[in-house]
Amino acid sequence: MSTSASTPVTPSPAEEEIVLPEVTVVDRKAAVMFGVLTVGLALLLILAPQEGDTSFRLKAPNDFIELPTITVPSTPTAWVLTLACALCTAAAIVLYTQKRKTPIWLVIVFALAWMTGFLTWAAAGGTVPVVGLLGGSLAVAVPLVFGALGGVLGERAGVVNIAIDGQLLFGAFAAAMIGSLAGTWAGLGASMVAGLLVASVLGLFAIRYFVDQVIVGVVLNVLVIGLTSFMFSQVLAPNAASLNSPPRFRAVPIPVLGEIPLIGPIFFRQTVIVYILYITVALVTWTLYRTKWGLRVRAVGEHPKAADTVGIKVNRTRFRTILLAGAIAGMGGAFYTLVSVPQFNREMTGGAGYIALAAVIFGKWDPIRATLAALLFGFASNLQGVLSVIGSPVPSQFMLMLPYVVTIFAVAGLVGRSRAPAADGIPYRAGGQ
């Protein structure tokens, strides 16, 4: 091309404003994932065909309005649902070729069709207790949700909280011990204090002394395992009757709400901890997005220097936030000893804190989404229990593996490069010495 220009050149108004086009870059991950899962389901149906009918029981005991039990022929229904999955996959592929994004409703439709199809196949010749499955999932998810909320809060303030597991475990320990001595509510309070204590150590090292947050988190988890196991063997086990037999929270149905068919038994015939959970989710969401405090928390997590220059004490804000986050996560620990099993055991959280951490990332650092992700994990683990009762053809180990595989798929496929708070995990060193 020619490059010479007459000099001097004189400016003239631009003939046209330069406006660059936007090009939509679409991901083919959704389509690929749909395809793999659909083929997987089809293979199950072909390689391990099941006989008989599948029933879905929708009512719970003592229902005011009783819903009928739906019974369908297993194999044909499963195939119909597989076809539905295939249609969703086709839709995703078409959208991809048209360079359009996969809408969220398509993902939901696919997930429902796939799950129902899988259940229809797996529970052939048996009955799926829908209320038990979903209500149980909610209960199982309680520590995960509390843990995830703690994780979200910490990371929004810029502190990666790997120590969720330690907070849950220490919370469970404290709840068992104090609960045995002074009752359920004292136990619940103690679990919050325990979570807060772990968080304060995290804060001391990660914020005050700039030790890497992930390292502190991992080491704290080991420390709490060691500490609680040691105390368990030395103190709790020898005095089990007085120190390790806490009372339990019982399910408390909520009047009216608890009577709504299907919804009521799932959501409103739970223990007090579950109701506290609802309130906590709402409160955390509201404060994070709608209050002065939340604005500041998000600011120190996104751009601490900017927050500092408008007079916000970055590290103090971070410290307070993770203390709160620790208290919330600690409450999740109380679930183990005050609801689930009324006694403490070594390493009884089984690494649930790490699953909660996955929920944080899966939920893109948003309290509502993280809660949903935690519920999903709860569903996956409860499903295993329910299916083993029905007598499913899938080996229990594979069902137990499911939440972890789902998480890997999730972080690799759906949220691989999602946007974390910009300063997440980065210690802040103020200017002055």
Partner 1 sequence: MKLELRDITKRFGSLVANDRISLTVEPGEIHCLLGENGAGKSTLMNVLYGLYRADEGEILLDDEVQHFTGPGDAIAAGIGMVHQHFMLLPVFTVAENVMLGDEATGFAGSLDLDAAGKRVAEISKQFGFHVNPSSVIEDLPVGVQQRVEIIKALSRDAEVLVFDEPTAVLTPQETDELMGTMRQLKEAGKAIVFITHKLREVREVADKITVIRLGKVVGEASPTASNQELAAMMVGRPVELTVHKDPPQLGEDALVVDNLRVIDALGHVHVDNLSFTIKRGEVLAVAGVQGNGQTELTEALLGLQDHVTGSIKLDGKELVGRSVRKILDAGVGFVPEDRQEDGLVGNMTIAENLMLNRSFDEPFVRNGSLQLDKLDEFATQKLKEYDVRAPGITTNAGNLSGGNQQKVVVARELSRDLRLLVAAQPTRGVDVGSIEFIHTQIVATRDSGVPVLVVSTELDEVVALADRIMVLYRGRIVGIVPPDTPREVLGLMMTGERPEGAVA
Partner 2 sequence: MTYPTNEPGPNPTTPAPTEPEPEKPVAPDDDRWRKALREIASGNAAVAFFSVLLAVAVGSLLIMFTDDDVRDTFSYVFAQPGDFFSASWNAVWGAYTALFRGSIYNTRVDDFQTAIRPLTETLKFAAPLIVAGLGVGLAFRAALFNIGGRGQMLMAGAAAGWVGYQFEMPWPIHVTLAILVGMAAGALWGGLVGLLKARTGAHEVIVTIMLNYVAFYLVFYALSEQNLLQAPGSGNPKSLPMKDSAVLPKLLGDRYNLHLGFLLALIAVALVWWILNRSSLGFRIRAVGENPAAARSAGIDVGRTYIVVMLISGGLVGLAGVNQVLGTVTSGIAVDLDAGIGFDAITVALLGRSRPLGILAAGLLFGAFKAGGFAMQASENIPVDIVLVVQSLIVLFIAAPPLIRAIFRLPTREAQ
Q: Which is nearer to partner 1, 250 or 419 (CB)?
A: 419
List the one residue from 219, 274, 334, 348 that touches partner 2 (CB under 8 A): 219
Per-residue x/- marks for partner 1, 4-43, CB under 8 A? xxxxxxxxxxxx-xxxxxxxxx------------------
First to last CA, the chain: 57
Cis peptide bond prior to 342, omega within 30° of 0: no
Q: Which is nearer to partner 2, 181 or 235 (CB)?
A: 235
Determine if 291 is a binding residue for partner 1 (CB under 8 A). Answer: yes
CA torsion through residues 98, 103, 109, 112, sign: positive
What is the C-alpha separation between 386 and 87, in angstroms, rounded?
29
Residues 6 or more apart in contact with residue 148 via CB below 8 angstroms = 164, 356, 357, 359, 360, 363, 370, 371, 373, 374
- 418 C-beta neighbours (distance < 10 Å), count: 12
Greatest distance between any 2 Cα atoms in the chain: 97
What is the C-alpha separation between 99 and 95, in angstroms, rounded?
6
What is the C-alpha separation between 150 and 357, in angstroms, rounded?
9
Determine if 230 is a binding residue for partner 2 (CB under 8 A). Answer: yes
Determine if 310 is a binding residue for partner 2 (CB under 8 A). Answer: no
Determine if 404 is a binding residue for partner 2 (CB under 8 A). Answer: yes
What is the C-alpha separation between 126 and 164, in angstroms, rounded?
38
> The tokens of 261 are what?
């068919």
CB of 400 to partner 2, least distance (A): 5
Residues 397-426 that bind partner 1 (CB under 8 A): 417, 422
List the one residue from 146, 354, 365, 379 that touches partner 2 (CB under 8 A): 354
CB of 425 to partner 2, least distance (A): 5
CA distances from 186 to 125, 241, 249, 272 (A): 46, 18, 12, 14
Determine if 216 is a binding residue for partner 2 (CB under 8 A). Answer: yes
List the one residue from 112, 312, 341, 402 that touches partner 1 (CB under 8 A): 312
The residues that touch partner 2, with contacts defined as CB under 8 A, are 162, 201, 204-205, 209-216, 218-220, 222-223, 225-227, 229-231, 233-235, 305, 351, 354, 357-358, 361, 395, 397-398, 400-401, 404-405, 407-408, 411-413, 416-417, 423, 425-429, 431, 433
The residues that touch partner 1, with contacts defined as CB under 8 A, are 1-15, 17-25, 287, 290-293, 295-296, 298-299, 302-303, 305-313, 417, 422, 430-433
